A and B are shown apart, each in its own frame.
Chain A
Amino acid sequence: MSDHGPPVIGIVGAGKLGTVLARLALGAGYDVLLASSGPPQRLALIAQFLAPGAETVTAYEAIRRADVVILAIPLSRLPEMPPADLAGKVVVDATNHWLEVDGRRQEILPDAEGTSEYVQRLLPQARVVKAFNHIGYHDLDGAGLPPGDPRRRAVAIASDDHDALDFVAELVDGLGFDPVALGDLRAGRRLEPGTPAFGASLSASDLRAVLGEPVCHPDAA
């Protein structure tokens, strides 16, 4: 990661969530690399209007150049990510299982496994942090506020890597949201669809009340 200046943010996926996160990051003064699987010209058009100021690149370039890579692609497409290139990188997993896009969950991962644990399994050497998955993209859009603003919304984060968790906490804050640390990736299951936190666009104290105490599972570390 850069020794000076704000980190470079790479966003893989230029859909609803990817473009919202790109706008937030650009608005907060970060350099943004935006990548998608579609034709480069289409990506350029999307960036021109939905994320003006983002540099459009290939996914490989985003991964290579960014200090933090945000995965905003369908869960079922995560196996396309290159594990070797992501080794040692802070990787933000913003995905959720979504039937329409991904098909049945059981066909992708075991019931007992959290989706971010699955991402960590696919990318064993990446420093995976779960974030931005429980709050709707339309609740994130244009909703970044300065620290201390009473209307500020919270974003829950979870990781097995303490330094990566701190790094992403700073990023969440930089984008205009209060980070709420939930614990490790296993605890991150409490952010998935079907949990009380899923869809929650709340203040930090309200989100903490919904989530309960942070948990780290000794056997998972």
Chain B
Amino acid sequence: VTAADDAQEADRAGGMIVDMSTNFRPHDPADQAPSTKDVEPRLSLGLDTFGDLAVGDDGQPISYAEAIRLVVEEAVMADGAGVDAFAVGEHHRPEYSISSPEMVLGGIASRTERIRLGSGVTVLSSDDPVRVFQRFATLDAIARGRAEVILGRGSFTESFPLFGYDLRDYDVLFEEKLDLFVKLLDERPVTWSGTTRAPLEDADVFPKTEAGLRTWVGVGGTPQSVIRTARHGLRLMLAVIGGRPQRFRPYLELYRKACEEFGTTAWPVGLHSPGFVAETDEEAREMYWPGYQSMRNRIGVERGWPPASRQEFEHEIAGGSLYVGSPDTVARKIATTVADLGVARFDLIYTMGPQARSARLRAVELFGTRVAPIVRELVGHRTEVTA
């Protein structure tokens, strides 16, 4: 830890206790006092989407407006089906309809009762931390304390030129803005200065929330990001989009140990991965593959990957990080991941490119009514056995 880090820590030490206690929400099952046990008393199961443009009954992509309304319908369905959390991710690409997560979540908030509403992720690097806090504090009011924000650097870069940021500042933008955001979480006047936005002197920010804003950092596997999240005392959401999920186990240990060293709270860790649920394994695969292939190839062209192969797809389903299949298959795979890693939250990114809208809505329903109960039973059983 450098001298600068030390100074930052010391500077914030006074506010940290307040921050964490206000951030604590007793009514949330995942918020039981963090224990040293691997498995939390109750697991949170969520659904994530970027508002992908689905395909209508006529086989044509639906409009952006329809895609946004579809996400709202799916969230309402998820709420009714017993899903614990719903997250929408910010993107600025033609395949996705959601660039303003809080707007969509505000609409969802007014039509749902119990589901937790978050972004996954909010690209903090190319946004203003003050505005991000204000928007989510506002959402939290409408949602009656159900709002949460997952901050990230994002895996795409379109937002940088769009909002006038330089990619060369990729690291410093996130570092500085996260630092400011953490100060804002105290909900007291903030004094801050840096190189990426105008300084603040004793600036008070409104609205205040009723019980603090739950804040996560989405991390894709960079060890340094795990440590940064621990240093700030924020929650860790692992984005696992390929390979064996079990390989992330040391990252959870790293997070806990780093929290211990920094004297911050080691919150229960979450994980999100892509997948899809249908009545049968075969149906799920056939529904998922065309969208997977299309998205994987579109992104692959930009990243220099060769075209997607069916073999790689099947390989990821069998032993990697694609949770595609019948409710039973998906539930077993999720339960294994949850138990092996000891995560307290699992979110399924349930949309992938141009899928049939009716199949998507059905996947949401199946996830809540069929997958979630099996996962809970399996994880509970396994916890008893290993306890």
Q: Using a CB–CB distance below 8 Å, which chain A residues touch chain B?
A: 14-16, 19, 38-39, 41-42, 45-46, 48-50, 99-101, 103, 136, 138-139, 141-142, 192-200
* A46-B170 CB under 8 A given contacts A39-B5, A142-B247, A193-B303: no
- Partner-contacting stretch, out of B65-73, B187-195, B198-206, B253-261: B253-261
Q: Using a CB–CB distance below 8 Å, which chain B residues touch chain A?
A: 1-2, 5, 155, 157, 167-168, 170, 221-224, 227, 242-244, 247, 250-251, 253-254, 257-258, 261, 300, 303-306
Q: Which residue of A lies closest to B223 (CB)?
A: A46
* A138-B254 CB under 8 A given contacts A14-B223, A46-B223, A198-B305: no
Please give, as numbers and ranges, the residues of chain A lying within 8 Å of B257 by CB-CB distance.
45, 48-49
Please give, as numbers and ranges, the residues of chain A lying within 8 Å of B306 by CB-CB distance.
195-200
Docked-complex contact A50 and B250, CB < 8 angstroms:
yes
CB of B337, distance to nearest CB on chain A (Å): 15
Docked-complex contact B304 and A42, CB < 8 angstroms:
no
Docked-complex contact B304 and A198, CB < 8 angstroms:
yes
Docked-complex contact B247 and A141, CB < 8 angstroms:
yes
Helix, strand, loop or mixed for chain B's interface?
helix
Separation of A153 and B250 alpha carbons in the complex (Å): 24
Separation of A42 and B250 alpha carbons in the complex (Å): 15
Please give, as numbers and ranges, the residues of chain B lying within 8 Å of A19 by CB-CB distance.
223
CB < 8 Å neighbour of A15 from B223, B242, B251, B303 = B223
Docked-complex contact A103 and B223, CB < 8 angstroms:
no
Q: Which of A39, A48, A192, A196 has the most CB of B within 10 A?
A: A39
Please give, as numbers and ranges, the residues of chain A lying within 8 Å of B244 by CB-CB distance.
138, 141-142
Q: Which of A14, A99, A136, A197 has the most CB of B within 10 A?
A: A99
Docked-complex contact B222 and A139, CB < 8 angstroms:
no
Q: Which residue of A lies closest to B230 (CB)?
A: A45
Separation of A45 and B1 alpha carbons in the complex (Å): 10
* A50-B304 CB under 8 A given contacts A39-B5, A142-B244: no
Docked-complex contact A101 and B170, CB < 8 angstroms:
yes
Docked-complex contact B157 and A100, CB < 8 angstroms:
yes
Docked-complex contact A99 and B224, CB < 8 angstroms:
no
CB of A102, distance to nearest CB on chain B (Å): 9
* A41-B253 CB under 8 A given contacts A19-B223, A100-B170, A195-B304: no
Docked-complex contact B242 and A136, CB < 8 angstroms:
yes
Separation of A199 and B221 alpha carbons in the complex (Å): 17
Separation of A197 and B307 alpha carbons in the complex (Å): 11
Please give, as numbers and ranges, the residues of chain B lying within 8 Å of A199 by CB-CB distance.
300, 304-306
Additional A-B contacts beyond A48-B254, A50-B250, A199-B306 (15; CB < 8 A): A39-B2, A41-B1, A42-B227, A45-B227, A46-B224, A46-B254, A100-B155, A100-B157, A103-B167, A138-B243, A198-B304, A198-B305, A198-B306, A199-B304, A200-B306
Separation of A197 and B306 alpha carbons in the complex (Å): 7
Separation of A103 and B167 alpha carbons in the complex (Å): 6
CB < 8 Å neighbour of B243 from A45, A139, A193, A198 = A139
